């Protein structure tokens, strides 16, 4: 039977992208004197590029920057962005998605173990996971531990390894098409809990697609406002 559930972080545990990472990137651009501001819609389209550093580099290259300059600047901007985002996490700026806490409590009560697989940076991901889920999480795999970011399955494979389980004994919970490819690529049955940025993406291979943890509409953070998708 089911022995563990492995959760993605961004968009799955909390609504961290639109009002979290995005403004932190924008503040980092300001601090580095770069005249770039990512609005909600543009950031949504950039989310197909995983990894904040790669996302910045791709955007700058798209604006005509030399690729080497873009890569070097992305490294600096992303370092600043990470520090800013850690501050937001420490300030308690993020809350669990509606219904998540009850869902996880139910799993733990049923003896199901909890893991996390993100390819975001460890500096912010570990404190955020502790803040959102407390100490029920046994294994946290982050972008610092993998060679290849999602949609590569590496993060999920490492999480399974950390739990000592085969994919057949676990379930993944994701919010995005990129995440579904990573999780199913690791052989995991995958439940998608959509949000405003991800609803309508290609979830081919997912076992189930839900609008929220508590079933009904309004269960997703993106339901607070229209975000496109």
Place of tokens 């496109």: 228
- Quick one: which of 16, 17, 57, 66 has its CA closest to 39? 17
| DSSP structural state of residue 147 | S
Among 119, 194, 195, 198, binds ligand XBP (CB under 6 A): 119
Nearest residue to ligand XBP by CB is 52
Structure tokens at 28: 């980092």
Q: Which is nearer to Mg ion, 73 or 176 (CB)?
A: 176
Q: Which is nearer to Mg ion, 155 or 170 (CB)?
A: 155
Among 4, 6, 7, 10, binds ligand XBP (CB under 6 A): 10
Among 4, 7, 11, 151, binds Mg ion (CB under 5 A): 11
| Cα(155)–Cα(116) distance, integer angstroms | 9
Among 44, 96, 151, 179, binds ligand XBP (CB under 6 A): 179
**Residues involved in catalysis:** 8, 10
| Span interacting with Mg ion, options 8-16, 19-27, 30-38, 39-47, rule CB under 5 A | 8-16
Tell me how many degrees the CA angle 30-60-55 measures, rounded to the nearest 5. 90
**Are the C-beta atoms of residues 34 and 59 closer than 8 Å to each other?**
no
Bond prior to 151 in cis (omega within 30° of 0) = yes
Query: Residues interacting with ligand XBP, by CB under 6 A?
Result: 8-10, 17, 21, 50-52, 118-121, 143, 150, 179
Query: Residues interacting with Mg ion, by CB under 5 A?
Result: 8, 10-11, 175-176, 179
């Amino acid at each position: 039977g089911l022995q563990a559930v492995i959760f993605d972080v961004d968009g799955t545990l909390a609504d961290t992208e639109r009002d979290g990472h995005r403004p932190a990137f924008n503040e980092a651009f300001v601090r580095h004197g770069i005249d770039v501001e990512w609005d909600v819609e543009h950031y949504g389209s950039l989310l197909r590029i995983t990894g904040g550093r790669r996302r910045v580099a791709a955007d700058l290259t798209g604006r005509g920057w030399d690729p080497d300059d873009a890569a070097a600047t992305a490294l600096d901007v992303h370092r600043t962005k990470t520090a800013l985002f850690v501050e937001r996490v420490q300030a308690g700026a993020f809350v669990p998605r509606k219904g998540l806490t009850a869902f996880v409590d139910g799993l733990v009560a049923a003896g199901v173990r909890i893991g996390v697989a993100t390819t975001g940076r460890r500096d912010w991901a570990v404190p955020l996971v502790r803040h959102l889920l407390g100490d029920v999480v046994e294994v946290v795999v982050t972008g610092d531990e993998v060679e290849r970011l999602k949609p590569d399955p590496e993060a999920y494979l490492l999480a399974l390894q950390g739990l000592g389980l085969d994919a057949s004994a676990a379930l993944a919970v994701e919010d995005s098409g990129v995440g579904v490819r990573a999780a199913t690529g690791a052989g995991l049955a995958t439940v998608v809990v959509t949000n405003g940025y991800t609803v309508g993406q290609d979830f081919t291979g997912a076992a189930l697609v839900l609008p929220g943890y508590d079933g009904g509409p309004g269960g997703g953070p993106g339901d607070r406002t229209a975000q496109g998708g």
